[in-house]
Amino acid sequence: MNNWNTIRAFYKRHEAEIFNEPANEWGMPAYTWCDVPGMLSMTPIEEWLWADIRAANVVMYPQYPVGRFFVDFGNPVAKVAIECDGHAFHLDKAKDGERDAQLEVMGWRVYRITGSNCMPDFDDEAGELSDARKFIDAICDKHPIKRLTGKRGWVHFGQAGAEA
């Protein structure tokens, strides 16, 4: 269970760092939120999509607060959000549409992917990317959120010099 107040306060503390970088660069190490015990947990579909986001070297912050909402993954500099639509949580398409419209009024572009499309399905033999990875790559074609490789090395899970 996520602690929404803690998540909101965490991102507020890092807001200046995030907004001092371009949309395609981290304002803080990608896993800084891991250092706050119990702050953030992801559903399996969010974990699968997070793995593809990281593999694609895309700057997205998990459970990013936008107004009164939290988007599953957000890039506040580019104002791009990705929502993972699991079956149980997104049965009300009209409510999702209203929420997306409110986010768009705030300048955000929201992309939605179904939970079944988040499942890892990379084909090693054929070299075929997963549906989620293709989805992420298509978003990167429209928005400058893919990192410039090698610009900065972050400390990752306690290993100095490792790229996050």
SS3 state at 143: coil
Instruction: Specify the fold of 4-142.
Output: Endonuclease; Chain A (3.40.960)
Indicate if the pLDDT at residue 121 is higher than 80. no
pLDDT at 37: 74
Instruction: Provide mean pLDDT across the span 106-126.
Output: 80
Q: Which residues contact 58 (CB under 8 A, 6 or more apart)?
A: 75, 136, 139, 140, 145, 146, 147
The structure's pTM equals 0.84
Radius of gyration of the chain (CA): 16
Residue spans of the domains in the chain: they are 4-142
Q: What is the pLDDT of residues 90-115, one digit of tens each?
A: 566 778 889 999 999 999 999 999 87
Would you mind telling me the total number of residues written for the chain in this entry? 164
